[in-house]
Structure formats: C-alpha cells, structure tokens
Structure 1
Amino acid sequence: MSPAGVGVVIVTYQSAGVIERCLRSLRGVEQAVVVDNASTDHSATVARNTLLARVIANETNRGFAAAVNQGVAALKTPLILVLNPDVELQAGFEESAPIVREALRPEVGLVGGRLEDEDGAYQEGFGVRALPTPGALLAEALLLNRVWPGNPWNRRYRCVGFDPSAAQDCEQPAGAFLLFRREIFERMGGFDEDFYPLWFEDVDFCWRIRAAGYRIRYEPTARGRHLGAHSIGSLSAANRHKAWYGNLLRFADKHFSTAENLALRAAATVGLAVRGIGRGLTAGGIQEGRACFHAIRTVWSRPHSFSRDAGGAFERTRAA
C-alpha cells in the first residue's frame, strides 16, 4: 500500500439513483467502502453489484457522522476521502495529484475539492463557506438571507466572491468532498455522532481541526460534479426542521457562549414561527406550517439528541 494511498468512504441513504455513477468515477484510490444507512430503495444492492466497493449495510439509520466513522474504521489507508454519493469525480487521486500532495503536508489538516453543477459551474455559497459566527447563524435562523440576500453576514458566511480557480486556505469546505490524513481524523476523535442524522457534523469537524492549529485548504484541480440534496427529500418536513435546528443548536452548545446560545434560540423561534405562518397560508402548506411550530419545541429542548427507530426515523429525546 502506498504511503499516499487513498481510501474512500461514501455514506448512502436512498441513493440508488446516483451511487453507481459515483463509484465508477473513482480513479487512483486503493479502497472504497459504502456505508448504507438502512435505505429502502436498494442502494446497498446497487453499490454491491458494481463490484467496486465493500458495502456495509446498516439495519438502522445511524446518521451521516456515525456512518463516516464506521467507514473510516473499515479502511486501512493513510488518507481518507469522504465523498457524497451524488458526487461524480472529474479527476483522479494518484500520488501526484495536487489534492493528495496538499493533504500530506504536516501543517494541513484537511483539503476540500471543487464542487460543480452539472454544467461545470462552481457551486458558490455551498462549496466553501466560512466557519459560522453567531451573527451568521442569527441571520440564517431569522430568515434574513431570504429577504436581504446581500447582507454582510450572509456574504461572508457563504464566501460570496470566493475565487474557485485558485488553490488557497479556507475555513469550511463542504462535507460532500473532503480529504484528510487518518492521523488527523483519529486525533480529532472522528465525526461527532450526536449530529444526527445530518447537518453541521462537517462544520464541527472543520472547526476542531482549525482549533487544533491545522490549516484547511481548497484545491480546484480536484473537481466533482455534485447533484445535491438527493437524500434530504426523503425526510419529512418535521424531521428536516428538527434535524437542522437541533444540530445548529448542538453546534452552538459546543462552540458559542451561553448568551449567544440564548440569542440563537430566540432567533430560531421567531424564524420558525414566521416560516410556519407563511407556509400555513399557502395551498398545500399546512402540514409544513405545523412542522415549523412543532420544531420550536426542539429549539428549547436540551441536550440535542435523537432516538432512532428501525425504519430510520427519529424523534426528540432528552438524555439522562
């Protein structure tokens, strides 16, 4: 095995329509593991039939973070690539690849690649972001970005004006396409599995890497075509709101002050109420409107954790 050998972890959930293209795009990798989180669309079977990866089929939806940790444990390579199943790589991961060379630098903790739309355009606002400040998350929670998209908090957080053609330091590449050394992953303790089922686990991982003194890099020659949001549609509106707001507040619990936490909770309450009223007044939007008001209970519940059932659904619980 090469000292720069790359192993790939791909977490699937309702990904049967995209996983084959993803696996067939892998070049220059030594091992690939697909961890399926109890999909009901035969994602695991499709992945297994390609004969291109080892497939671990979970009986329950363990969440993205836990599945990544599970996949890394199954690999033996010194470099780990976390890749979403809806990403089709446009470049290989041979030892000479710039992204591999970057990841091997001792001062670098993580490298993100360039995520593109189907037409090859860089996905601005998603591909690379700044680590969130309390102000940025307040703007998100209050829905300020919907009525004032050009506000300064949103522009900084979503890195509006970022030059996607230049290799450079950055703060938070999207979790859809991340390369790092195994030693970094182990030193950080892996992904925090309490971010369930998804959202903010990649943000937290980048935060901890930078807090430990490592640089995070962006490498534009490592390109991936990204479909985006293919699994999110399988979540109900209620579960989407619970997961996003619950994990936002878990992130705040870990990294922000008590006063900042209270401000975020108040902002989330207002934002959910406004969204709930707005949705409730539209044709066919009553169910989502109710989901917004139900999610307000999530905002004021602590700590932020979910229980999982065998079907992959989740409900709010209080830890002992």
Structure 2
Amino acid sequence: MPATSSDVAGGASAVLLALSPGAVLLVLRDGLPGIDTGNLFLASARGPIEPPMSWQTVPGTALSLLLLKPQPGLAVGEWLDAGDEAGGRLRLLPEAGSVEDCFGNLSPAALLRVAGFLAARGRRLLRGAEDAALAAACHAVAGLAQAPERGARPAVLCGTDTLLWSLPRGLAAEAATSYVVGRDRLRQVGHTRHALILDDRSFEGGFLLPAGAEGPIHLAPAPAALPTLGDLARRQDAAGRGLYRLATTELARRAATEEAARRLLRDHQLVQPAQPAAQVSQPGEPFGGALELAVDDHAGGLFLRGWLRDPLGLVARLTLQGRFGEQRLAPEQMIRFPRPDIGKKYAEAPHGGAELKAGFIAHLPRAALRPSGQWRLQVRLSTGDEVALVAQPSITTPLLARDRVLGGIAPVHVTPEIMARCIAPPVERLHQRVMAARQTPEVVQVGRPVAAPAVSLVIPIYRNVFYLRHQLAAFARDASLDEAELIFVLDSPEQREDLEHNLRGYHGIGGRPVTLVVQAANYGYGSACNAGAAEARAPVLLMMNSDVVPARRGWLRPLLGMLEAAPGLAAVGPKLLYGNDSLQHAGLYFEQLGGDGDWYNSHYFKGLPRRLPAANEAREVPGITGAAFCVRRSAFEAVGGVTTDYVVGDYEDSDLCLKLRAAGHGIGYVPASELYHFERQSIALHGGYTKTLTAAYNRGLHHRRWAGDIAALMARSWPAGTLPGGTE
C-alpha cells in the first residue's frame, strides 16, 4: 500500500479534487491541526503554491476546504508542506477521490455550505462565472442533498424563456441574493422567500443555494404547459390571482435595478387593456384638473404635464399612483406655467376662474423605477373626498417619448428653471436610449466606385429630395468632381426604394457613381454624417446638406486648395448664398442674444449682398456651418467625428468646430467656393423638431459644454484676409 499523508508524523489526511481546468479543491478530512489558516502557506517540491486560495471549514464536520488555481506541484501523489508564520508545520500527500467520496455522508445543510463556497469563491476568486466544469461540480455537490421537500415548483411563464419558481417554506423573510447552479453554468440571483425568477431555462434541474437554508433547493423542470402572466391576469380564482400577485410583485421588486425585469413588466402591461383617461373639466365644478402627459424616461424617471384649477383652495394632497406603488407629489416638485386655454375656458366659471399659472410640469428622476402602463394623480380634497386624474397610457418608444417631452410645453412658457429641471434631464436620458438602439445601416453601391477618391462628399437626406436632381446635375457636369466619391445617407428609410431607383437613373444619365447608406431610422444629422464617413475612402470629407446646390463649376478646387496651402487648418467652409444671391454664410461666429446668457450661432454678413468686399476675403473664422463642411479625415476621426447627443440636428457643426479647435486646429472660410443653400428644407419636415423645444434643448447643451471655450474664442480679434488667396 502506498503511504498517505496521515502515515507521516505531523501529517494530515487530504483529497485533491480537480473541479475544472481553472479550479482544484483540497479536502482536509481533519483540517490542519496546529496551523493558523489565516497565515497559511503551501509549498511543493517545485516551489511555493501561489495564491489565490480560499479556506473554508464545514460546520458540524471535521472537514476543511482549500480552493486553489491549478499549478505545478499541486497534484495527487506529490507532497505538500503546509505552514504558518508561527512555525507550525504539516506534510500532506493528496489522494485521489470523488465528490461523492468526500461529501456523500454530509447533511443537507453541510452540502449547501460546500456548494455555496465553491460557487461563490470560484466565481469571485478564480473568475469561474463561465466555467462549465466548475458549475457541474457545484451541481454534483448540491445534488447529493436532493429531497422532495426542498424542491421549488415552476409556477409561471413570465416571458419567452423566463420562469418563476415558487420556493418551499423555511427561507429567511428578507429578500436575498444567492447562487443558482445548473449543470454547466452558475449565476448570482436575487429572490424573496417565496419566489425566484430566472430568464434562462437551462437552470431547470439545477439548484438554488440560499445561505442559512436547510439545504440546496432543487429547481424542478417545468411541465410542458405553464400559465403566462397574461393568463393569470385574466383569471378570477384565488390561486390564479395569488400567483399573479406573486409574479408581478417579484418582477416589480427587481425592476428597480434590473433592466430585464423592467422590460418584462413593461411588455406585460402593453397587452393589458388600459383605463380611459379621466379629468375634471366642467366649469360648474369647484375644482378642475387633468394629468395630460405621464411619460416614462426609460431610466427610472417620469415626466409629467397637466393643469390644476383650484380657486377655493380645496386641494389638500396630491398622490401619484402607478401600477406598483404610489408617492406624494409635493408642490415644490411641480413648476407652474401659464395655460391661456384653461384661463379662457374658466373665465366666467361660477366658483372663480383659473389661476394665472394653471399648468404644471415636473420631472421625477426616480418615480418610474418600476414601469407603469398608466399613471394617475389622486387628488384629496379638504372635504376628504378624492378625485382621480388618469393619464393616457404611457408606455412608448424612447424616440416618441423624447419628442413628447420636447413638445410638452410651448416654447414661450419655457424658463431656464423648466428647461434645467423638467426638460433637459428626461430628454438626455431618452436620447441616449435612442442612440444606443441604432442599427447597422445598409450600403448600396450604384456604379463602379472611384478608384482613389481625393474627397468624399457625404450628403444626409431626410425626406426632402426636391433638390437632388439639381445637385446631381451640377455634380455631373463639373470636372472638379471627377476624383470625388458621392455618398448619400438616407435618414428616412421609407423612401429607400424610390431614392435608389432615382439614383440609378441619375447614374445612367450623368455617369457619376453613388454610394447609398440607408439608416434604419432617423437618428439625426450627426449620426448620418458619421455613417457616411464610415464608408468614405478619401483623405478629405465634405459634409453637405441635401438642399445645397453649387453656384458654378469648379467650386470644390478652392476648398481643397486651401487645405493644401494652410496645413494649420483642419476644416474650411465655402460662401453660401440664398436664392436671391444674398449671403447666407461667410463663416460662423458666436454671440449672446436674448438676455439669457446663452451663446447662439450666427453667420457673418448674413443677408448682405453676394459681392460684399468683406465677404470675399479668405480668412480664419471661429467656425463654419455644417451645410458644407470640408474637413481633413484624420482630424475628423481624431476628435470622434460629429457629436450625436444633439437631437435631430442643430449645433453639431459648431460643436465639431470647437472640438477641432480644442485639438489645436484652425477653421477657414473660402469665398472662392460658392454654393446656394436653400436653408432648413429637410428639418422643416421633421415634426419632432419644428413644433418642439429641440432647438432650445440643443442650444442649452451646446452652451453648457462650450461656454468657456466660446467666450475665450470670441475675445480674440478676427481680422479679414488672413488666409492665402483671399480676394475673388
């Protein structure tokens, strides 16, 4: 018989289990007597055993466990020396064994402790979250304790792959975080004493390992048919209603921190019937009000807009109620604003008219951590009576929610406080969601691409294709564009078929090859420019609006020539004209208008004659417009392209100029290049822009980001004629 570690004086009995390629376990049958495990070190004939390592005793037994990563010298039949800083010494000769040999005689509570230790320490210490073999070992340990009385019953199908298990009695009353192990995976999950929800059906047949329980809890496989949340919502029996409350309560608990649970709650409510909206709006009533908008900002917050008319002071308390809870709505959380329509309606009401500021608006940053399909404002009156003001259903896409917030109040009534507290925060949250959902665009090539383009023209299109034929006709007869590639980016994908058909026809007539980039949705000007730039191959990019048409041939050469002659410039812009030949753009600058302190974008000499001498001097300028923005590709990419956190389109061009300046580059104006700009033709077709606070939101964002840089920039003098080749 071979010698074992227990045959050696000063030795201890040990079994070595290879749990996975990333984890081994030393099982010490009688611990390490005389060794301070807090200062434990191990060594083999090949050298020290390196950390990480984790020590665990098993209560109610003599077993101790040591979890380590595999390494040379840590093998069955190879001596190990154990010691501590106080001089204690033991020798180990690890034997081979199995999970059943080591743990088969343990109580369920001890097995729970072993499996929980392997799951927790293996996941954290040895980064074994994706270690299928480690999960299988934990599953094998837990399986030794399987008992019918400790089984969890699958009860509800909450989603396509999401199950709720009803847990057995005996768990701690508080919500807990435990480990769940399947045959090839393990995960940390939250649960209550009654229910566990998992969105991965591969854990069926696995085990929940709740600390302090009587043993591992077996997650029984689900039967072929389980009721859905929708099924339960329609049931009237006590058992069905109880299961429905159990499932929705657990989802609501987790929705505050887990996006998957929040989405499940949202999806479930979308298919449930909504209540009709309710308001109190009869002039003969002593009180009136409505909750007109209750918009989830998709990040846990809620935007509210409505009105209250209370000439006799009847309102005692306001309570905002959602599907999964309620909260007091304090007067200081609401900002009041004028509602002329309400004032007119109640001008001759018998109990008195409406207050000057009957409207209210609010953003509650954490009111919708648990999403609600429909919100209500419960109004308690001084008499003790209550009135419910019910909003329209509130669940919608981030894009529509963003536009509803931006259209929630007339621009004339927006104060800096309303913008800062009620508009900007939800719009920022929602716009981030919109941009995070961008899909990869589709690219269509019409004609054989230019072999080695000198410049790439990137032209976003949103609905307005009226000027396309004029633009392409001008390009077709201009020899300066022979080495240019044309990239159109379509932001209104519903026009894709018609636009592609037209581009192929224009290619057949004019011969210019075209690349068409089709966005999945309208993500705004910045995203369109970046999508086109990603397909571009030239060292120079020219961002051009779809409503810009060259005034004459040869307009491109002066722009490229200026970049070549002035290496300190990263970008240059042309002279832009209105249809009546007056100036639209001769460089962009910033000025403070309106008394609000914000910096606005302005254009030099706007509206003045085309031949104005001062407008015919090539010079450095603070910025240029995005209607025709010629930039070195290397500089464009170095600053991250066009910023996409402006909504729809506004201020991205000046933002790009300021980013380029912050990187040490200059911006130039080239009057020898002339184009007509039929201004704001596309953006006028965007309902989410023209009738909302979009421009004010973008201006505020731009001001907060760049106010200091702009002030320093505009403190400089800007003389005319500072670039080569100025006068026409």
Same fold (TM over 0.5): yes
Measure, in 2, the Cα distance between the counterparts of 1:238 and 1:70: 21
Q: Which has the higher contact order (CA 8 A, sep 6+)?
A: 1
Change (3 A) 1:219 1:4: farther
Is the Cα–Cα contact under 8 Å of residues 578 and 678 in structure 2 kept in the other structure?
yes
Q: Which residue of 2 is the match for residue 174 of structure 1?
A: 625
Encode CA deviations 1:99-155: one digit per residue, 9 max, x unaligned: 2121233210110001012233222xx44221x35x3474697xxxxxxxxxxx98x
Change (3 A) 1:44 1:128: farther
Measure, in 1, the Cα distance between the counterparts of 2:604 and 2:629: 18
Do residues 234 (structure 1) and 667 (structure 2) align? no
**Structure 1 residue 21: deviation in Å?**
1.2
Matches for 1:1-320 after TM superposition, within 5 Å = 5-26=454-475, 27=478, 28-29=480-481, 30-38=484-492, 40=494, 42-43=498-499, 45-51=501-507, 52=512, 53-89=514-550, 90-92=552-554, 97-104=557-564, 105-123=566-584, 126-130=585-589, 132=590, 135-136=592-593, 138=595, 157-160=602-605, 163-236=614-687, 240-256=691-707
Measure, in 1, the Cα distance between the counterparts of 2:664 and 2:567: 11
Measure, in 2, the Cα distance between the counterparts of 1:182 and 1:44: 27
Is the Cα–Cα contact under 8 Å of residues 10 and 35 in structure 1 kept in the other structure?
yes
Is the Cα–Cα contact under 8 Å of residues 174 and 202 in structure 1 kept in the other structure?
yes
Equivalent residue of 2:693, what SS?
helix
TM-score normalised over the length of structure 1 = 0.67
Change (3 A) 1:140 1:84: farther
**Structure 1 residue 159: deviation in Å?**
2.9
Measure, in 1, the Cα distance between the counterparts of 2:685 and 2:631: 29
**Structure 1 residue 45: deviation in Å?**
4.3
Q: Which runs of 5+ in 2 are unaligned?
A: 1-449, 712-728
Measure, in 2, the Cα distance between the counterparts of 1:252 and 1:12: 27
Equivalent residue of 2:532, what SS?
helix
Equivalent residue of 1:50, what SS?
helix
- Which structure features the higher share of helix residues? 1
Identity %: 21
- Which structure features the higher share of strand residues? 2
**Structure 1 residue 195: deviation in Å?**
1.3
Q: Which amino acid aligns with 1:24?
A: A
Is the Cα–Cα contact under 8 Å of residues 93 and 100 in structure 1 kept in the other structure?
no
Encode CA deviations 1:18-60: one digit per residue, 9 max, x unaligned: 1121122223232010001015554554344322421112221
Is the Cα–Cα contact under 8 Å of residues 5 and 79 in structure 1 kept in the other structure?
yes
Encode CA deviations 1:150-174: one digit per residue, 9 max, x unaligned: xxx98x9443488211111111221
Is the Cα–Cα contact under 8 Å of residues 117 and 227 in structure 1 kept in the other structure?
yes
**Structure 1 residue 15: deviation in Å?**
1.8
Q: How many residues align?
A: 240
TM-score normalised over the length of structure 2 = 0.31
Q: Which amino acid aligns with 1:91?
A: R
**Structure 1 residue 61: deviation in Å?**
0.4
Is the Cα–Cα contact under 8 Å of residues 689 and 695 in structure 2 kept in the other structure?
no
**Structure 1 residue 64: deviation in Å?**
0.5
Q: Which runs of 5+ in 1 are unaligned?
A: 142-152, 261-320
Equivalent residue of 1:241, what SS?
coil
Equivalent residue of 1:173, what SS?
coil
